[in-house]
Amino acid sequence: MSLIRTLGPLSGMFLLLGIFLAGAAWAAPEEGPQQPFANVLVGELVAGRSICQTFVARFPHLAEIRVRIGTYGRHNQGELRFVLREGEWNGRLLRVAYAEMAILRDHEEYAFTFPPVTSSAGRRFTFCLEAPGGQPGNAVAIWAADTDQYPEGEALLRGFGGGEADRVQDLAFRAGYALTIPDRWVILAERLGQGKPVILRWGAAYGLVLGMYLLGTYLAFRRAFTLG
């Protein structure tokens, strides 16, 4: 009987904890930065050209970059190469991914996925797109903005004419992450602490509050089972 009285409140407490963890996982974002505005088509991406964008990752475990593609209504052939570098366009090579141009759809995003970059939060990166086999009439383009929509980064065009390169400010892109549950907890605590007193900006403060809440819940369940 004493075992039942102990397990009853514990099971209730763990149920509430599971609900809380699920809510935290749902609330934490998985994307950012993102720059959705696109009014300029940059292309064609033929051999000898590359289109790059610098950005600052918001979270750890950077694992995806989505880019809006233009195909000119064609089914182009060959590979589109994605390269992720640390820092600027000539920085240390981190990841490489590929896409078959034949499967790309006009004016839609394509997600380049890669093994997560673990400690990506707050770091500056550059991704570049190139098509070594691209030729006029058989190449894709990238959608971009002709105004500065993303102040923390900029588009970099290599191999294009001066006029086209000068009018492009930012590519249309967004970054995605393979967040773990602890990552989501930290992000949620930081979001809750925004604009709060210093002590409430500390993530552990919310852990302490949660612990006190669970302890109170456990005692309440235990009292209820004892009285029953």
Instruction: Please determine, for residue 40, whether its predicted confidence score (pLDDT) is greater than 70.
Output: yes
CA 75 to each of CA 17, 100, 138, 153: distance values in angstroms, whole numbers, following the listed order: 51, 10, 8, 31
The two tokens of residue 211 are 């612990």
Neighbours of 75 (CB within 10 A): 10
> Measuring CA to CA, which residue among 15, 72, 21, 20 is closest to residue 45?
72
Burial of residue 175 (number of CB atoms within 10 Å: 0-12, 13-18, 19+): buried
Using an 8 Å Cβ cutoff, are 168 and 146 in contact? yes
State if pTM tops 0.85: no
CA 21 to each of CA 176, 195, 213, 216, 220: distance values in angstroms, whole numbers, following the listed order: 21, 23, 14, 18, 21
In tens, the pLDDT along 81-103 reads 999 999 998 999 999 999 999 99
Residues in CB range of 143: below 8 A, 6 or more apart: 38, 40, 41, 42, 68, 69, 70, 107, 171, 172
For 164, phi then psi, to 5°, come to -70, -40
* Domains defined along the chain, listed by start: 2-28+181-227 (no CATH), 31-177 (2.60.120)
Helices (H) and strands (E) in the chain, counts: 4, 12
Using an 8 Å Cβ cutoff, are 66 and 111 in contact? yes
The two tokens of residue 55 are 């950005």
Mean pLDDT of 155-184: 86
Which of 8-17, 41-50, 93-102 has the weakest average pLDDT? 8-17
pLDDT at 3: 47
